[in-house]
Amino acid sequence: MERENAWKKYDEKALSELEALSCRYRNFLDLGKTERECADYAVELAKKNGYISLDEAIKAGKKLEPGTKLWASPMGKTIMLFVLGREPMENGINIVGAHIDSPRMDLKQNPLYEDTDLVYLDTHYYGGIKKYQWVTLPLALHGVVVKKDGTKINVVIGEDDADPVLCISDLLIHLSAEQMQKKASEVIGGEDLNLIIGGRPLKDTEEKESVKANILGILKEKYGFEEEDFLSAEIEIVPAGRARDMGLDRSMILGYGHDDRVCAFAEMEAIFAIDEVPARTLCCLFADKEEIGSVGATGMQAKYFENAFAELMALTGDYCDLKLRRGLANSKMLSCDVSAGYDPNFASAFEKKNAAFLGRGVCFNKYTGSRGKGGSNDANAEYMAEVRKIMDDAGVSFQTAELGRVDLGGGGTIAYICALYCMNVIDSGVAVLSMHAPWEIISKADLYEAMKGYKAFLLNA
Ligand code: MN
Ligand code: MN
C-alpha cells in the first residue's frame, strides 16, 4: 500500500508553519553540534518556555501541581522535559525519546604531534562512519577542556566566518593506484584520521618541534590551555558550516547530525506546543551515547530516567517502589530515531513495499534489528493499532518501514532499553538519506509531520 507524499496536502498556512519550523531547526542544528551544546540550547529554550529545574524543585521539596513544567539535564549531555498531568504517574506517562549524540571523530587524550613541519591532532572515531567520507572537507572543533582546578573552557573553532577550519588530507589520485584497490573500509583507516592544524614554525628558536611550539603558543594565548590539558578534554571533530536548505525547491535540509537531532527537535517543539494541563504526565527525553550502544552514565541504559520518574512521583506526593514500577510499565513511548530513506541511487538496498520515502511523513518501524530481527524491539500489534489511530485522527502523514532489505545489515535504537520496563515502545522517526555521513539529507515535510505526530501522541496516547 503506497502512502501519499505529504507535500501534496499542504495549504499556505501549513507551508508557512513548515518553513518557520525548518528555520528554527537549522538554527538548532547549528547551535548544537555536540550533545553538550545541544543539551545546553534545549535547556535555554525550556527556560524560555516556562520550565523549571527539577534539581531545584527537589531541593525546595514543595509539592508540585499538575501543569508544572520541569527540565533536567544529567551531566549536561542529556535532557528530560516533563509536563505534569492530572492523573497519578502510577497510571503511566507518555514519552517521546531521541538521542543527541551523532557520529563524529573525538580527539584522543594525547592528540598533538608534529610530523615533517605539519602539526596534527590524532582522533578516534565515534559511532559507525565510512571513514573515507571524513577526509578533504572543512572540519571544526567543538567541545570542552577541563583544567585541573575545574575551570571549564568551551571550544568552538571553525564555525565563525572569520575562523580557520581544519582538514584531514587524502592521497592524490595520481598516486592512488594501490589505495584504489583497497576495500572501502580500508581506504582510510582509523589511524589515518589525523587532523592537520598547523604548518608554520616559530622563527629564531632552538625548539626542535617549532611548528608544534607555535601551535601550543596559540592554544595558550587564544584559548587558555596547555598540551597536558588535552588529558581532561572532550573535543569532537565535526563538519564545519551551517545546515542549509537543499534542492531548487528548498524541500530538503542538508545538515550534520540529523541522526538524531531531527527527532529530538521535533519532540521538543511538540512538547513546547502543548499549552493545556494534560491528563497523563508528558516527557520529552534526549539520550546520549546511542551511537555506541547507549552505554555509560548518559546512555539510555543508565538510570537517570527512572530516577527522575521516582523523584517526580515523590514531588507529587505519590511515591513508593511498587507505584514506580507500575508507572513505568503503564507508560507509552515513541522511540524517536531516524530511518533509512529510500534512495533510488541504491535501490537494491531496499525492499520498496517496506521502505521509508522522503516526504511521505513520519515513519514507524514496528521492528528494527538485523538478520532474523536480532536485537530488535518488536512493538505489539495492539500498540501499533493505537498509534495508527492517533496519527489518522490528527491528520498526520505517516508511513511504515524496515531498515533496508532483509539480511543486508540493520541497526538498533533506544527502544529495546525502555521496553525492559514492560512499557509499550515503538520506533518512530524521520527518513534520512546518507545517514551517518558528514552531511545528511532530510525532507522538511517529514520534520513537520514528525512534530505534529509527536504532539498528537503526547496528548492522546
Ligand atoms: Mn539514531
Ligand atoms: Mn545513528
Which ligand sits closest to the CA of 99? 1
Q: How far is the CA of 125 from the centre of ligand 2 (A)?
A: 13
CA distance 91 to 341: 36
Q: How far is the CA of 263 from the centre of ligand 1 (A)?
A: 9
Q: Which of 261, 253, 327 is nearest to 22 (CA)?
A: 253
Q: Who has greater pLDDT, 373 or 43?
A: 43
CB 435 within 8 A of CB 249: no
Q: How far is the CA of 105 from the centre of ligand 2 (A)?
A: 14
For domain 105-239, the CATH class is mainly beta
- Domain 6-102+256-460: homologous superfamily in CATH: Zn peptidases (3.40.630.10)
Which ligand sits closest to the CA of 102? 2
Q: How far is the CA of 414 from the centre of ligand 2 (A)?
A: 11
Which ligand sits closest to the CA of 429? 1
Q: How far is the CA of 435 from the centre of ligand 2 (A)?
A: 7
Quickly state the pLDDT bin for 302 (edges 50, 70, 90). very high
Quote the mean pLDDT of the chain: 97
Q: How far is the CA of 300 from the centre of ligand 2 (A)?
A: 14
Average pLDDT over residues 277-284: 98
* pLDDT value at 22 more than 80: yes
pTM for the complete prediction? 0.97
Average pLDDT over residues 319-330: 98
Q: How far is the CA of 257 from the centre of ligand 1 (A)?
A: 9
Q: How far is the CA of 163 from the centre of ligand 2 (A)?
A: 29
Q: Which of 18, 35, 27 is nearest to 260 (CA)?
A: 35
Q: How far is the CA of 220 from the centre of ligand 2 (A)?
A: 35
Q: Which of 431, 454, 433, 440 is nearest to 264 (CA)?
A: 454
* pLDDT value at 410 more than 90: no
Which ligand sits closest to the CA of 97? 1
Q: How far is the CA of 139 from the centre of ligand 1 (A)?
A: 22
- Percentage of the chain lying above the pLDDT 70 cut: 100
How far is CA 454 from each of CA 95, 267, 313, 367, rounded to the nearest angstrom?
9, 6, 24, 19
Cell 571544526 -> residue: 140
Quickly state the pLDDT bin for 407 (edges 50, 70, 90). confident
What pLDDT, on the 0 to 100 scale, is given for residue 403? 87
Average pLDDT over residues 90-113: 98
- Percentage of the chain lying above the pLDDT 90 cut: 94
C-alpha cell at 290: 546511542
3-state secondary structure of 420: helix
Of 276-280, 357-361, 414-418, minimum mean pLDDT range: 414-418
Q: How far is the CA of 138 from the centre of ligand 1 (A)?
A: 24
Quickly state the pLDDT bin for 207 (edges 50, 70, 90). confident
Enumerate the domain spans of the chain: 6-102+256-460, 105-239
CA distance 85 to 271: 13
Residue 310 region by backbone torsions, left for phi larger than 0, else alpha for psi between -120 and 50, else beta: alpha
What pLDDT, on the 0 to 100 scale, is given for residue 278? 98
First to last CA, the chain: 25
3-state secondary structure of 417: helix
Q: How far is the CA of 258 from the centre of ligand 1 (A)?
A: 9
What pLDDT, on the 0 to 100 scale, is given for residue 337? 97
CB 448 within 8 A of CB 21: yes
Q: Which of 65, 68, 66 is nearest to 53 (CA)?
A: 68
Burial classification of residue 70, based on how many CB atoms lie within 10 Å of its CB (0-12 exposed, 13-18 middle, 19 or more buried) = buried
Q: How far is the CA of 439 from the centre of ligand 1 (A)?
A: 14
The neighbourhood of ligand 2, an ion, using CB within 5 A, equals 259
Which ligand sits closest to the CA of 335? 1
Average pLDDT over residues 93-100: 98
